[in-house]
Amino acid sequence: GEDVEQSLFLSVREGDSSVINCTYTDSSSTYLYWYKQEPGAGLQLLTYIFSNMDMKQDQRLTVLLNKKDKHLSLRIADTQTGDSAIYFCAESSNSNSGYALNFGKGTSLLVTP
């Protein structure tokens, strides 16, 4: 299948901004998603962006999409210790089986006081 790549770890201090990056290869990707997974829990949708957009802002979250470079980023402003979790980038397109999500391996975000 098509690839979704993310860096594996990110550590930031409380109050700083976090930027998590993702690249993907499927040029037909329609929607791109960010999911959050806390320890022992399922995946929670944080935000998503349609492929014809280049930016979406939702409170502390800003998603940037560079479709030409197939690069997606998630910026979390004023990062808090409760933001410590694994963040998954995912894409869907009509080339995916049953429009299933294709996930990256996840970025572990550690927020230190």
Partner 1 sequence: NAGVTQTPKFRILKIGQSMTLQCTQDMNHNYMYWYRQDPGMGLKLIYYSVGAGITDKGEVPNGYNVSRSTTEDFPLRLELAAPSQTSVYFCASTLGAVTEAFFGQGTRLTVV
Chain residues binding partner 1 by CB under 8 A are: 1, 4, 8, 30-31, 33, 40-45, 48, 88, 90, 92-94, 97-101, 103-106
**Distance, CA of 111 to CA of 9 (rounded, Å):** 11
Q: Which residues pair with 108 in a beta bridge?
A: 9, 86
CB of 62 to partner 1, least distance (A): 19
CB of 23 to partner 1, least distance (A): 14
**Distance, CA of 49 to CA of 53 (rounded, Å):** 7
CB of 3 to partner 1, least distance (A): 10
Residue 5: half-sphere exposure toward Cβ, Cα within 13 Å = 8
Nearer to partner 1, 98 or 113 (CB): 98
